[in-house]
Amino acid sequence: GESVGLHLPTLSVQEGDNSIINCAYSNSASDYFIWYKQESGKGPQFIIDIRSNMDKRQGQRVTVLLNKTVKHLSLQIAATQPGDSAVYFCAENNYNQGGKLIFGQGTELSVKP
Amino acid sequence: GAGVSQTPSNKVTEKGKYVELRCDPISGHTALYWYRQSLGQGPEFLIYFQGTGAADDSGLPNDRFFAVRPEGSVSTLKIQRTERGDSAVYLCASSLAGGNEQFFGPGTRLTVL
């Protein structure tokens, strides 16, 4: 069946270092991938997305890489700050399924000052 | 502008009772989604509305769960004969149309005693 999962459940980094959060997916038909950040007691917040016809997309301090050959997605955060501490989820979508998102389990990022 | 709002923020009920959870989407968003999130897990899709109609209700776990969106704006998730296993955070999201970026509300934490 379909699944989206993460390699690492927790990640601890020093403030100022770069962070890399990984995600594996199994549905090769997925068209669209999104990274969300979720702080305690809040709903997921959109960070960055990427379409399946791309392999890299950059935002402000964040970069998403998509490797369709091995069905792997990663989120890179540059110069990680204490405010980046949260749980990060990857999610996938198939246009044929409308807006339905399938989420992975999540990685908790902890930034040490 | 106002984001997605959900009420109540917390709901405690007894096993067997009926509950209603409300979602107010962003004005103008035609697509509305309900997800359920258990502790330590990613959100799990329940149902997706495009306008007033449920475009995909494949995620509803059983017939105790029902959702409506009579005027294409506010939505209510209804759970009958609640069970302890229904305890979770229920998240609502909206988007301009199906497949576009989804904006999440803060969620309703449901606890069934």
* pLDDT, one tens digit for every residue, chain B (113 residues): 589 999 999 999 999 999 999 999 999 999 999 999 998 899 999 999 999 999 999 999 999 999 999 999 999 999 999 999 999 999 999 999 766 789 999 999 999 99
- Given this model, what pLDDT does residue A111 score? 96
Q: Rounded to whole angstroms, how far apart are CA atoms A77 and A10?
A: 15
Q: What pLDDT does residue B1 have?
A: 56
- Write out the residues of chain B at the interface with chain A, using a CB-CB cutoff of 8 A: 4, 31, 33, 35, 40-45, 48, 50, 55-56, 58-59, 91, 93, 95, 98-107
Residue range A48-97, pLDDT digits in tens: 999 999 999 999 999 999 999 999 999 999 999 999 999 999 999 887 77
Long-range CB contacts (within 8 A, 24+) of B62-69? B67/B34, B69/B32
pLDDT at A6 over 60: no
Contact B91, B35 (CB under 8 A): yes
Residue A49 β-bridge partners: A34
DSSP string, chain A: ---EE-S-SEEEEETTS-EEEEEEE--TT--EEEEEEE-TTS--EEEEEEETT-SEEE-SSEEEEEETTTTEEEEEESS--GGG-EEEEEEEE-GGGTT-EEE---EEEEEE-
Q: What is the pLDDT of residue B38?
A: 92
What residue type is A56 in one-letter code? K
User: Whole-number mean pLDDT of chain B?
Assistant: 95
Nearest to B56 among A41, A97, A102 (CB): A97
Asked if residue A18 lies in contact with residue A80, where contact means CB atoms within 8 angstroms, the answer is yes
Residue of A32, A44, A98 lying closest to B43 (CB–CB): A44
Q: Enter the tokens of residue B58.
A: 């494949």
Return the CATH fold of B5-101. Answer: Immunoglobulin-like (2.60.40)
Q: What would you measure as the largest C-alpha separation in chain B, in angstroms?
A: 38
Please name the residue of chain B whose CA is at the shortest distance from the CA of residue A89.
B42
Domain boundaries, chain A: 4-112
Chain A, nearest residue to B47 by Cα: A100
Residue ranges covered by each domain of chain B? 5-101
A30-47 residue pLDDT tens: 889 999 999 999 999 999
CATH no., domain A4-112 = 2.60.40.10
Please say whether the beta carbons of B107 and A43 come within 8 A.
yes
Q: Record the tokens describing residue B59, joined without a space.
A: 């995620």
Mutate to test the interface with B, among A52, A93, A101, A108 (most CBs of B within 10 A): A101
